[in-house]
Amino acid sequence: MKMSLMKKLSAGFLLAVIGAILIVSFISNYMVGKKFNNYLIDEHKDKVNKIIITAQDLYNDKTGFSNINKDELLRYAVLEEFYIQVKDLSGNIVFDSGNSHLQHRSMMESMMGTMMKSGMGNHSSMNVGEYKEEIHSLVKDKKNIGKIVVGYFGTSYLNQGALTFKMTLNHSFILSGFIALLFGLGVSFILAKQLTKPLVKITKTANEMRTGDLTVRSKVETKTKEIEELSASINYLAETLQNQEMLRKRLTSDMAHEIRTPLTTLKTHVEALLDGIWEPTEERLQSFYDEIERLTSLVDNLRNLAKLEQADLKLNKTKFNLSSELEKVILSFEPLYSKNNHIIISNIDKNVWVYMDKDKLKQIMHNLLSNGYKYLKSQGKVVVELKKEKEGICIKVQDNGIGIPEKDMPYIFERFYRTDLSRSKSTGGSGIGLTITKSLVESHGGKISVESKEEEGSTFIVKLPKQTICEIGKEEW
């Protein structure tokens, strides 16, 4: 049978409190009772010693045991519930306290009965006990003058005051345990409620997400770090799923748009040829070919993207001069930029040697420079920087083009994602180039990010780790 978390926590706390109360009560009762009994036994011994001293004082060297101060022994016997008998050297009884000790037994039995009726006290260790006698020699001035018999019941040291103290002590333990139990029950209920209430809310949020409502968010107020982190994780998951759902829908729309455009063009042209409106000229056949190339390029990009996103992407790493390779890539783009009155500028540190996949590096730069070129305004400019830093290598591609809207920044590296501004341009690509670039950079252990502002341009930043750098003259890895 399954129990709720609140019931389990409450039961666990309560069992811990009960266990602690029982352990503390048992140990405390045992230790205090033991020490108190030892104290009473020592007191008993002191009383016996006082009786012996008093009896020895009754002896006189001239008259022997006199009648002087015998009343004091009798009062002591009655007060302390002892039986006292004093004998001289001849064995004659010179003092006998009578049956005062029997009165003590009767009183003790009466008190024990009262305690048993009230259900209090440790009865097994507080019974009246058997009658006992101690015989001690009486010595005065190092001379044996007789003997003294001290009789008492086994627990004569448990007088009325001692019994009252023990009863009060036991009452205190029971009352304290009961109060502690109530306190523990209250605390366990409060703590369990504080822990389970936010968890119930988080569970409710997760269930709503499962039914398809990705707009829901977990709103819990708690001072528990782990629960707060769990709530934040659920909210992050909901936001991520919502964004992915938006991207999925946009992907479907974009793919339909990308495929429909060339197909529509082909269909229209073919219908015109079939109807005899157009003649199959070389120019029109070239238009057909261009549209087919667009579809082929789209399919190739999809295939390349699938390969890049595989976990076992293989890199053919070699040692080469990154500075020289970047200069070559920039040089290959200069005619394209010059043709449209754009300029490309390099600001590259010299002799930066790396251990990377050269072809993948060229593909990264080709995608970034092509992307920058497509969205330049009239007389645009692109600046390529290479800096060797303490943390590794930094490559920047900065343009003064149309920029990226702030709302599109989080999704710019998602597959098939294109901003509204890029879609309005006839040169807009398929939306896969930056996704491929990101995969290639991350395959080398690096990171790519973008900084952009509308109508001012964009800066793509590629950070490669320090491990990619190698020194000139070092053997190939």
Together in a domain, 171 and 29: yes
Together in a domain, 26 and 152: yes
Domain boundary among 182, 210, 233: 182
Q: Per the domain annotation, does 474 fall within a domain?
A: no
Q: For residue 396, what is the domain's CATH number?
A: 3.30.565.10
Chain position carrying tokens 């039986």? 83
pLDDT for the residue 103:
54
Closest CA to 227 of 192, 252, 195: 195
pLDDT for the residue 224:
75
| ∠ Cα 237 238 240 (to 5°) | 65
Q: Per the domain annotation, does 152 fall within a domain?
A: yes
Together in a domain, 17 and 82: yes
Q: What is the dihedral of CA 130, 131, 132, 138, to 10 degrees?
A: 170
Q: Per the domain annotation, does 475 fall within a domain?
A: no
Together in a domain, 252 and 329: no
Total count of domains within the chain? 3
Together in a domain, 295 and 369: no
Domain boundary among 182, 217, 245: 182
Q: For residue 158, what is the domain's CATH number?
A: 3.30.450
Together in a domain, 275 and 169: no
Together in a domain, 241 and 142: no
CA distance linking residue 369 with residue 264, whole number of Å:
30
Together in a domain, 399 and 275: no
Q: Per the domain annotation, does 396 fall within a domain?
A: yes
Q: Per the domain annotation, does 217 fall within a domain?
A: no
Joined together, the tokens standing for residue 367 give 């995608």
Together in a domain, 279 and 324: no
The DSSP H or E segment spanning 37 is helix 5-57
Q: Per the domain annotation, does 215 fall within a domain?
A: no
- The DSSP bridge pattern shows strands 381-388 and 343-348 to be parallel
Dihedral sign computed on CA atoms, order 97, 102, 103, 105:
positive
Tens of each residue's pLDDT in the chain, 477 residues? 566 666 777 777 777 777 777 787 778 777 777 777 777 777 778 888 888 887 777 777 776 766 556 777 777 777 777 788 888 888 888 788 776 555 555 554 554 455 444 444 444 444 445 777 888 888 887 888 888 888 877 555 555 666 677 777 778 778 877 887 788 778 777 777 777 788 888 888 888 888 888 888 888 877 777 888 888 888 888 888 887 777 677 667 766 777 777 788 888 888 888 888 888 888 878 888 888 887 887 777 677 666 665 545 678 889 999 999 999 999 988 888 888 889 999 999 998 999 999 988 998 999 899 888 888 888 889 999 999 988 899 999 999 888 888 888 887 887 666 665 454 444 455 567 788 888 889 888 899 999 998 888 899 999 999 888 886 644 444
Together in a domain, 21 and 163: yes
Q: Per the domain annotation, does 198 fall within a domain?
A: no
3-state SS assignment for residue 140: strand
pLDDT for the residue 270:
85
Boundaries of domain holding 122: 5-182
Together in a domain, 296 and 323: no
Chain position carrying tokens 């936010």? 198
Q: For residue 249, what is the domain's CATH number?
A: 1.10.287.130
pLDDT for the residue 462:
94
pLDDT for the residue 101:
53
pLDDT for the residue 106:
53
CA distance linking residue 48 with residue 51, whole number of Å:
5
Together in a domain, 282 and 334: no
3-state SS assignment for residue 74: helix
pLDDT for the residue 147:
87
Domain boundary among 289, 308, 327: 308
Q: Per the domain annotation, does 287 fall within a domain?
A: yes
